[in-house]
Structure formats: C-alpha cells, structure tokens
Amino acid sequence: MMNNSLTSANPAAEKIAPYALLGMTAVTGLVDAVSFLSLGNVFTANMTGNILILAFATARTPGLSVARSLTALIAFLVGAILGGRITASASTDSRIRFAAQAFLLEVIFLTVASFCSIGYRGDLLEHSLQPLVLIAFTGLAMGTRNAAVRKLAIPDLTTTVLTLTVTGIAADSSLAKGNNPRLARRVGSVLAIFFGAALGAVVIRYSISAALALATAVSIMCSAALFSSLRTSEAVNGEHVS
C-alpha cells in the first residue's frame, strides 16, 4: 500500500494507479515481443535479459548483435535519466502527478516508434538503420516509464521485472507458511506481461507497426486514466477546502 499522506492527497489516483500499472505491464510484453522477435533478439524493456544477451553477443554467439543490445541499453539509460529528472522534485503527495507526466513522454516515444516502424521488413535487419531506430525509441520509452514506476514504488508493480514477483508468489504462499500478501496483484502482473507478450507475438505476424500502435494505445489509456483520477482527486479536495 502507498503511505497515508499519498492516499489522503490523491484518493482516486491511489485507487487507479495499480490498474494503470497493470496495463503498462501488458505494454512491456507487447514491446519486448516486438523487440525480441522482430528486431534481432534484443529486449528493450527487460534490461536483465538484454544485458545477458549483450554478454552472449560479446562472446560472438551467432544471431546476436552487440550494436543492437548496446543501443537498447543506452536508450533505456537515457530514458531513465529523463524519467528521473521529471520525477526528481516529486513529493510524497505529488508522486502520481509527476509519474503521469513521465508516462506521457513514454507515449510520445512509443508513438514515434510506431510511425518509424511503418514499412519495416525483418529481412533487412542486418542492412538497415530502421531496427536500431526502433530499438532506440522503444528503449527510451521503457526507460522513462521504469524511472517513474520506481519513484511510485508500489509493491509488486514494477511493470517490467517479475523475478521477485514470482518469488513472492511462492515464498509468501500458504505452502511456505506465508499469508499470501497481494497475491491477486502479483498474479495479475505475471498474467499481464504474459498475455501482452503473447498478443504481441501474434500481431507482429501481420504488422510490427500495429503491435507498437497497440502498445501506444494501451499506454495512452493508462495515462489518461491516471490524469482523470488526479482531476477527480483535485475536485474532491477542492470541495473539502471550500
């Protein structure tokens, strides 16, 4: 749970935020489906996987590229810097507002990636700059978002890394003599990224730009829901003040 001061300042936003982050978790699956399956075995959202792939590529494993993995890592870091700068001055009461602003930047990067992916051909992977451009913009989007999500610090909703989430499902289960805290949220995170990735794998068979456009649309809806909830909270607070 978020702390009490955040809850009292943004009650509507506090309720909506977990659902918005679950939607963004599905976007992670969509984006990594595009990057891994169509942009040359590289992750632009999951940096644990990407760094491992970079290591394999450095060891000259066939089919992997240092340039693509390094582009993803650098873009992600730049995006995280941008997201960090946006949320740096956020107080406890304003974390959701600043995070929502960072999510808008994610939407912009994904929108650019969607347009840049029009006409993309996977058979030109080794002879075109287009894959690197798509890797860069999706990496920027995911880095920006992850910095904002880190600032929010909502338990079990990182939107990208699920290792600790899966561990928590097992380690805190009744079988491990635990009390299953936030079980629905944890399972929801796993299912969101799973179905997002599965959907992305299906859609890219027909159009990579459609898959990225879908990721953009979901991000827009999540951001819009957050901004709407913030306005609701401000209206409620205004009524209380008056």
Q: Is residue 8 part of a domain?
A: no
Instruction: Calculate the alpha carbon distances from 145 to 104, 134, 197 in Å.
Output: 9, 17, 18
Q: Is residue 242 part of a domain?
A: no
Write down the pTM of the prediction. Answer: 0.89
Predicted confidence (pLDDT) per residue in 156-207, tens digit: 889 988 898 999 999 999 999 999 899 999 999 999 999 999 999 999 999 9
Q: Is residue 57 part of a domain?
A: yes
Q: Is residue 2 part of a domain?
A: no
Q: Is residue 52 part of a domain?
A: yes
Q: Is residue 240 part of a domain?
A: no
Q: Is residue 1 part of a domain?
A: no
Per the structure, the complete domain to which residue 72 belongs is given by 14-235
Q: How far is Cα 190 from Cα 203, in angstroms, rounded to an integer?
A: 20
Q: Is residue 241 part of a domain?
A: no
Predicted confidence (pLDDT) per residue in 68-122, tens digit: 999 999 999 999 999 999 999 887 778 888 999 999 999 999 999 999 999 887 7
Number of domains into which the chain is organized: 1
Q: How far is Cα 206 from Cα 200, in angstroms, rounded to an integer?
A: 10
Domain of residue 142, CATH code: 1.20.1250
